[in-house]
Each structure stands twice: as C-alpha cells, then as structure tokens.
Structure 1
Amino acid sequence: MLEIERVKFGIQGLDKALNSGIPKGNLVLVSGGAGTGKTTFSLQFLVNGALLFGEKGLYISTEQNVSELRKAAANFGWKLEELEKSGMVRLKYLNILKGDSFLKNIRAECEDFQPKRVVIDSLTTLTDSILVTDLKEDIAFSVVQVAETVNPIPRTERIVAKTILYHLIDALRAISSTVLLTSELLEDEKGLSADEVSEFITDGVIILYYFGVGATEARSMIIRKMRYTAHEKKSILYDIFNDGIRVVSEEEAYKL
C-alpha cells in the first residue's frame, strides 16, 4: 500500500485530527468569518513549516501588505523578517486592481522560490474584483473591478468566479506545493465560501467558527472534507493565544 506523504500544521490536536497531517500537494480552503483567525492560522502554517519541519513557505496576500503581515506575526513572537532573510519564508503582496496577471505572478514567485507550502489570502478579494481579460494560451488573467464591466446578475458573477477559480486551481496544482486558500464566510451564506464554488474544487475544506453564548465566547473548526485521508468529523475547539493557535479541550474553551 502506497504511504501518503503528509504536511503537518505543527498544531497539536489538529495534525492528529488530520491523521498526521494534510496529504502533500492538497489544496485546502480555509473559510471563516471575522475574528476566527484565518490569517493567524495561515501564517502559523508557514512559520511552523519553516521552524519545525524545514519547509519553505510563500505567503501571497491580496489584502494586507508585507509590513502588515510582519506586524501581525510579531504579535505571536514570530520573526518573519529573520525567516525571510534565511530564505525560509517569502511574503508577497499583489495589488489585484493594478491589472497585472495574477496567475503569472503566482507562477513566477513559485518557480523562483520553490516553496513546499503556499498561502493565498484571500480568494474573497480576488473573486470580488475580477474580470477575465486574457484567458489565452498561458491561462493567465488580469484583474480589474468587476462592477464596471460585468452584468451584476448573480448567475453571471458565479460563472465568472467559477472560471477564474478553475484556472487558479489548475495553476496551483502545477506547482506541486501544499496550499491554503482563505475565504470569508458570512453567517447568512449558504455555501462554505464567499464564492460558493471553491469548496467543490479544492481537495480539503476547513471551516473556522467564532461564537458566543452569553458572556462566553469560543472558537471551533470543522474539517468538512480532506481528500486522500481519513479525518476527524467532529468540531475541534481552539483558541488564539500569545504564541498562536492551539487546540483546547471543552473545559479549557469555556474557561478562556
């Protein structure tokens, strides 16, 4: 029987829930609302990859610039600049409204840096502001504000988003890295992502939740799917501490 190579988060309890980690090369959607810690979760995936497992990581952000990401990481004692200088982590901010080819930029960064782990943060920003303008031979596309040129019919926007996402997923599969893709998830949304498409075309889906009961608040995650491995089906309680995200027991969760 072929043994599956794994990529670990380095978060005790989560790797166990994933049967020792994400299958290598999987593309995993990380979806959640405000306050769930999507950026922290993603940064920790890269930081732990570099420090604990010696794996290079690339963080591509369409929302926060490099300086903001470094500040966010510093809150947890993660010295990204040192990891950048050592060649273990690379941060890249892509302004999707400049009209540059998003896929070409991703390809160029991956070919140059050769990361084992990649984070795309976020799909929501991308699909909210896209228009296919050059889906040609190299399946690259440029991005401009969609409101100016796309008929605002939900079905039309969904088709455009689906087309873009399929090409993005194909491009990410070609680089053979293990990838996290973040997405906003509002409380009243029916799907598992803002675009309601990416959950179907990625290999895995991890949903992060933030909820409160009276004066008590807690966070939980659910692994909704993960191809090529068995995984925990129940909710996993976690919280955000001064050293990052940790899985906690039910007793710990409601004492925090």
Structure 2
Amino acid sequence: MGPASIVPDMVNTVETGVEGLDSILNGGLVENATVLVSGNPGTGKSLFGIQYLHHGVTEHDERGIYISFEENEDDIREAAESIGFENWGDLVDDGEIKVYDKSHMLREGDFTSTMDTLLEDFANASYDRLVLDSLTMFELFFDDEKEKRTYLLKFSDILKKNGLTSLLVNEQGAVFPETEIGLENFLTDGNIYFIQTPTDSGVNRYVWVAKMRKQDIDTDIFPMEIANGGIKVYERAGGFSMMGREAPGDGF
C-alpha cells in the first residue's frame, strides 16, 4: 500500500504506520487532514506522533516536522528509541524529520516570532507530515478566545495549504473522552482518542476514532498496546462500542 492509497470513494489516505489503526481508517488519515489526537497523560499520544513521522520517512519517503512544547530533543529521541526506532536520531540529523523542541518554541518568550519562523519553514521546505505536541500548551499563548480562534484557523489553513497531513495532540484530564464540542473539534477533520483504564496488573489501553471527515470509519473502541515496534491496535477485537452497537465477538 502506497503513501496515498485510494479507497472506494476516491479519498487519498496517508498511512499512520500503526498496525490495525490504518484498517479502522480504511487506509489511513485523509490526505491534508488536520486530526485531533486526545487523551489523558501517558496514553501514548506522543508515541503515536513519533511513530506516524517515523513511518512516513522510512516507508514512504515523506519528511516530517515534530513540534513539541513539552519535551526537549533528547527526550523525544529517547521516547522514539524506547519503542524500537533506533534510527530516529539519524533521521533528525539528516533533516528527514525536523524537530522544534521546547527550547525552540519557548525561546525568549517571543511566541509570535517563533511561529513566524516555523511557518516560513513550512513554506520554503518540502514536508508531508506534522505533529504538534501539544495543542493544549499552544493555546496558552493566547489572551482570549477570539485571538485563539483566529490563530488556530490561520494555523490550520497554513498546514493544509502546504500539503501537510497533521496530528494535533490534545491533553485531557478525564480517563474517558470528553465528548463536548469544543473549538478544536470544529477546526479539525478528525478526532482520535487514546484511553487507558487501570487494572490490578497495570493498565488497559484503547483507541477510539470518533470522527474522520470524508471517510466511513468504525466508531467502536478497540484495544491497543505499546511495545517494541510501536503501537498496535487490535481491530478485530472490539469488545464494546462507544455508539451502543454490538461489537463483533471474533476475538484477536
């Protein structure tokens, strides 16, 4: 399957590289879409972003940008190596993945200047995939809702105009998804939720694709795991449904 596979309704898709999730998405994310990735801390959202960019470069020769307000470049590299992407640092050094870490994004507190530099980079270089980690931190730089709405609209428009298929990571405090419609939901083409629930032996992890414009997607919640090689989703193991439908009982 190529980087822009054709699904029956002729929508071009971009593989995430997550086994199982691309099946749920009928091939991957819609090309040039901006997708909100939400969940509480530790659910695997940042690792998903890393895996998405790594897959793009290594399997499809698609360059990526990772913007992090949360971590420095060494932290991001260690996270990538922790799931088996030992060549992450080489890809960054070679310019295949451009990392703007918190030292770049928070430099001198001049957010506007920093964003102008970043947007200029979008326009003058050829990138295909982008991850912003996190939208929650990004939004703290705006004084009011009007300013935030204006800039988010501008930012989303620039991503699309530059041909980027983007993941915007959104931190949540609740264990289960908050389903109220917020500003971010109006601005994004898709919503993916990462969920974890505590058990006696650790946690159970799940993924829920709640919305994906232009695609007929499965809205059940599916089990997932984080292991060497990255995130895997068991798309044939739906045990329950967010939408009240009976899930197939055909096991893993």
TM-score scaled by length of structure 2: 0.81
Aligned to 2:188, which of 182, 199, 202? Answer: 202
Q: Is the 1:209–1:220 contact (alpha carbons within 8 Å) kept by the matching residues of 2?
A: yes
Distance in 1 (CA, whole Å) between partners of 2:55 and 2:214 is 23
SS at match of 1:187: coil
Q: Is the 2:39–2:177 contact (alpha carbons within 8 Å) kept by the matching residues of 1?
A: no
Superposition pairs of residues 240-251 of structure 1, within 5 angstroms? 240-248=226-234, 250=237
Task: Give 2:110's aligned amino acid.
Answer: G
Aligned to 2:106, which of 74, 95, 102? Answer: 95
Task: Give 1:233's aligned amino acid.
Answer: T
In structure 2, the residue matched to 1:46 is: 53
Task: Give 1:36's aligned amino acid.
Answer: T
Q: Does residue 199 of structure 2 align to residue 179 of structure 1? A: no
Q: Does residue 112 of structure 2 align to residue 104 of structure 1? A: no
Deviations 1:104-125 (A, max 9, x none): 1331221233111011111100
Aligned to 1:127, which of 135, 139, 145? Answer: 139
Distance in 1 (CA, whole Å) between partners of 2:124 and 2:78 is 25
| Count of matched residue pairs | 226
In structure 1, the residue matched to 2:71 is: 64
Structure 1: runs of 5+ lacking an equivalent: 132-156, 252-256
Superposition pairs of residues 218-237 of structure 1, within 5 angstroms? 218-237=204-223
Distance in 1 (CA, whole Å) between partners of 2:174 and 2:197 is 11
Distance in 1 (CA, whole Å) between partners of 2:229 and 2:20 is 16
Range with greater deviation from structure 2 (201-210 or 171-180) = 171-180
Deviations 1:166-218 (A, max 9, x none): 2222222221210000010111898459x931112100110110112444521
Distance in 1 (CA, whole Å) between partners of 2:226 and 2:14 is 22
Identity rate of aligned residues, in percent? 28
Structure 2: runs of 5+ lacking an equivalent: 1-7, 239-252
Q: Is the 1:46–1:89 contact (alpha carbons within 8 Å) kept by the matching residues of 2?
A: yes
SS at match of 2:215: coil
In structure 2, the residue matched to 1:145 is: none
Q: CA 1:87–1:129 in structure 2 vs 1: closer, same or farther (change >3 Å)?
A: closer
Q: Is the 2:43–2:195 contact (alpha carbons within 8 Å) kept by the matching residues of 1?
A: yes
